[in-house]
Structure 1
Amino acid sequence: MWRTVAEPTRTPTTRRSRSRPAVRAGLLGNFVDQFDIFLPIIALAPVAALVLGPESAAAQTGLIFVATLFGRPLGAAIFGSIADRHGRTRTTKIAIAGIAITTLMIAFIPGQDIGGVWTLWAFVALRFVGGTFLGGEYTAAIPLAMEWTTPRRRGMLSGGIMAMSPLANATIAALTLLLVQTLGVQAYAAWGWRLPFIVGAIMAFGLLWYYSAHVMDAPATASAPRRAHPVRDILAGPYRRQLWQVFVLMTGLWLFTQMAIPVLTGMLRDAPQVGPSEVAFIMLIATLVSAVSMYTAGVVSQRIGRRRFFVIFGAVALIAAPLAFAWALGSHGAGLITAVTLVQVVTVSAYGPVGAYLAERFSTGVRSSGYGVGYSLSIVVPALYPFWLPGLQAGIGPVLAVCAVLAVASALLVAGAALGPEPARDAPLA
């Protein structure tokens, strides 16, 4: 069994010097993770019909995104168990290597003009495998960062880690916008779309080097007793109540994500008043603002409590999120940018405390498994939106259907938080 051996004595300065690499790696790791997750949605948005084929480009990119998200629960279960039993740092390195390789392979998929229908299925297959490794990365890396962090800084670190998601989205949007405007739509469709995937692979290889050179498991965690079957313990054993409570809360958050990012992006792309390059610019502005609000959410949760934060946020979002979405689809110009930004702020900002909250809800022996499975298993129903959302939209209207889903997401967030206790946010992780 692999483990890091702690020294008999350590000064506070020594602990700080060893905790900083793990904290930095947690921040950078979630940036790389989120960059990879949303690459197809944003980078392919301007040219999906040319790269994947003219048949329902929005549905095709949605299918690729779903494949990524479906791989994540599998990866969380596999790598969470490995991380709890054999160490979080080693597990993280394996997962990052897989992310780097699969992302690089996507950059060499032939376009639809050469590969035909197999182009789409090559994307789907590689994104599923990549999603499995992505599920392993945050399952090990974020609990590791939290275990190295002092209790009073957990909310701030959680907000910073979760803010990497909108920052990653903003980076993809900026890179896509730059490439489309520099190369032109035809050149970008022919080969330019591959560059963001190459960038993603390079970042993952760089992160792998950083973990190998600088990061180790927290001493208290490395010396803690190991559970023989951590995944079984959280699914049907003594930690099942924590898991299913987290599942309800995270399902609400994932519904927010699907409606506020891929669904909104697709609907904007199809809107007559919005050009292809404008979508990337609008999402760039909105995600930059939501990064700040997500970080702020983590800090606020440290002051008022994670449970109280989620309940208050969900109650506000119940009204604000549907109204903001309806405003966004009926606006143009500066009003459109403002409305899309508001959608991001009143939905995905709630992720700010999640890194700390999930780490606090599970003890050391099952922390990676509980964090990863709770975070990822809740993706399943929201990720199937390409299959259930169109029917709902056909029944009650495209915008009203999304507004209804946002209301349900708000209610699930409130219910999930209310079902659980307030974690001991000012105490060391158990």
Structure 2
Amino acid sequence: MNPTPSDTSNTSNTVSTADAPDIAARGRRATRGAAIGFAIDCYDIYLPVIALAPALHYFMDKDVASGTSALVNGLVFAATLLGRPLGAFIFGTIADTAGRRRATLIAMYGSAAGTLLLAFVPSFSAIGFASIGLLIVLRFATGVFLGGQYTGAIPLAMESSPVRKRGLYGGLITMGFPLAFCVMSLFTYLLLRVTGGTGGGNGGSAYEVWGWRIPVVVGALATFAFAVYYGRTVQESPAFLKVEVRKASPARQLVRGTAARSLRQVLILMTGVWILSNATSASFPVTLRSLDGVSSQRGTAIIVVAQVFLIAAYPLAGALSQRIGRRVVLALCGALGAVVAPLFYLAIVSGPVSSFAGLAALTTGLVLSSICCFGCTAAYISERFRTELRATGYGISYSFAIIIPAFYAFYERGLATFMDADHTTVVLYVVGGILLLIGALTGPETKDAVLVPAGGTAAKVVEDVK
């Protein structure tokens, strides 16, 4: 199959020398806004996994079994992810009809409010099971707004970026993913040290009672502040402004013709990406901390080391995709996820390496081989949909693909009935890697796609594989 761009020679997109500095500055501001916004988004996503996990007994009976506790923790995490597809649908429509910038701002203020309300949830001892119920409902509602935040901001940034730098800028945006993990982990570690950790008797430790509220409030205030900054510095996408005819229902258009074919392909690809991501970012940390000689603090430090390398890897992967092609990089990531990541995982859980340096090196290999693909997904997904459908296409394909992988904890629990529990994650790596590989190979090359339309027509992007 030879990928063929449907439009890569649009000379009317050329700008004058006098306009170039302003366009470049617009692109940098949009990219910076999307990058910071995505980092704050990821910070909020990691709240239940890192900051709330040590205080989960605040929201439920302290005598609950550890297996049930882990399942509830997975459900809280899944609630945030499951809210995002609804947000992508709602705010994708807003972004494609009323503007990317407007959709992003509404979503930012909504997610800030939802996160702030979380800090006021009463304990299990005060309201019983309603406590964990409120936590799950708020995480779902916040997920709706989080799904809208990147649905508007990332396509806006990609449409504002120069073609030759689009891959790099996309990688810089997704740096927020590991950066947020490092910040959240360090913040939680320091709070646990200051408050004396968890398990403080029947009344709970200081962290379980009030310490977890600090990162929640910080996240909410950071989102409010950034929404103000974004509104003052980021301009509307030039691609959106050039579209004269906007569809009343972009989602309906998305399931027809070539757009539907693009959507199906990207959904397969992103389902693989999210399965790999959940295996490494949500499941693996629990397994690592359960190994002999690996305390919670030591395990977190090991993961942070690996995430630091990932911060640098994302823009490198994005830049590489601009040189050799997104399709090639994504296919390579799929192969690495299915074959190499399981080998690193098995080397870690089998126990021959116990030193901090050894475990950190193996964990870094696992992280890089399984989720480096995010370095070029921002650019790739944006390039797969034409302008009047781009935000909706980006949001739905990115967020709806989360639904099946979100229940990773249930899949692992089912697999554990007939195989070693520590090896169930290997299945996720293999399945995720294969889906990513299939999605990449069945899609076209997109790195030279035109995103800013000429005149008043929607830009044609790469939609066919011939």
With normalisation by structure 2, the TM-score equals 0.87
Q: Distance in 1 between matches of 2:266 and 2:376?
A: 13
Q: Distance in 1 between matches of 2:369 and 2:155?
A: 26
Matched ranges for 1:184-223 at <5 A: 184-185=196-197, 186-223=205-242
Query: Does the aligned pair in 2 maintain the 1:66–1:383 contact within 8 Å?
Result: yes
Matched, 1:19 2:27: yes
Matched, 1:32 2:51: no
Query: Does the aligned pair in 1 maintain the 2:284–2:425 contact within 8 Å?
Result: no
Matched ranges for 1:47-86 at <5 A: 47-54=55-62, 55=64, 56-86=68-98
Q: Distance in 2 between matches of 1:21 and 1:115?
A: 46
SS across alignment from 2:446: coil
Q: Distance in 2 between matches of 1:86 and 1:418?
A: 34
CA deviation digits over 1:40-82, x for unaligned, max 9? 1011233334554442322111111110111011110111011
Q: Distance in 2 between matches of 1:51 and 1:181?
A: 21
SS across alignment from 1:423: coil
Matched, 1:257 2:277: yes
Task: Give 1:135 deviation, angstroms.
Answer: 0.6
Number of the residue aligned with 1:270: 290
Q: Distance in 2 between matches of 1:257 and 1:90?
A: 30
Query: Does the aligned pair in 2 maintain the 1:156–1:295 contact within 8 Å?
Result: yes
Identical aligned pairs, as a percentage? 37
Number of the residue aligned with 2:328: 308
Choose which of 366, 370, 379 in structure 2 pairs with 1:343. 366
Query: Does the aligned pair in 1 maintain the 2:171–2:314 contact within 8 Å?
Result: yes
More helix by share: 1
Could you tell me which amino acid in structure 2 is paired with residue 354 of structure 1? T
Gaps of 5+ in 1: 1-7
Query: Does the aligned pair in 1 maintain the 2:383–2:449 contact within 8 Å?
Result: no
Q: Distance in 2 between matches of 1:367 and 1:428?
A: 9
Query: Does the aligned pair in 1 maintain the 2:239–2:387 contact within 8 Å?
Result: no
Task: Give 1:111 deviation, angstroms.
Answer: 2.7
Number of the residue aligned with 2:12: none
Task: Give 1:302 deviation, angstroms.
Answer: 0.8
SS across alignment from 1:421: coil
Number of the residue aligned with 1:46: 54
Choose which of 445, 450, 454 in structure 2 pairs with 1:422. 445
Query: Does the aligned pair in 2 maintain the 1:152–1:426 contact within 8 Å?
Result: no
Q: Distance in 1 between matches of 2:418 and 2:57?
A: 27
Aligned in 2, Cα 1:15/1:211: closer, same or farther, shift over 3 Å? same
Q: Distance in 1 between matches of 2:61 and 2:95?
A: 40
Q: Distance in 2 between matches of 1:237 and 1:119?
A: 46
Query: Does the aligned pair in 2 maintain the 1:322–1:403 contact within 8 Å?
Result: yes
| RMSD of aligned residue pairs (Cα, Å) | 1.8
Further displaced range: 250-259 or 390-399: 390-399
Q: How many residues align?
A: 423
Further displaced range: 287-296 or 203-212: 287-296
Further displaced range: 146-155 or 312-321: 312-321
Query: Does the aligned pair in 1 maintain the 2:88–2:147 contact within 8 Å?
Result: yes
Q: Distance in 2 between matches of 1:43 and 1:20?
A: 32
Query: Does the aligned pair in 1 maintain the 2:274–2:401 contact within 8 Å?
Result: yes
SS across alignment from 2:444: coil
Matched, 1:322 2:339: no
Number of the residue aligned with 2:188: 176
Matched ranges for 1:274-313 at <5 A: 274-313=294-333
Choose which of 156, 160, 165 in structure 1 pairs with 2:172. 160
SS across alignment from 2:171: helix
Task: Give 1:237 deviation, angstroms.
Answer: 4.6
Q: Distance in 2 between matches of 1:99 and 1:372?
A: 16
Q: Distance in 1 between matches of 2:288 and 2:125?
A: 26
Number of the residue aligned with 1:356: 379
Could you tell me which amino acid in structure 2 is paired with residue 333 of structure 1? S
Higher alpha-carbon Rg: 2
Query: Does the aligned pair in 1 maintain the 2:239–2:451 contact within 8 Å?
Result: no
Could you tell me which amino acid in structure 2 is paired with residue 359 of structure 1? S
Aligned in 2, Cα 1:53/1:286: closer, same or farther, shift over 3 Å? farther
Matched ranges for 1:96-245 at <5 A: 96-185=108-197, 186-224=205-243, 225-245=245-265
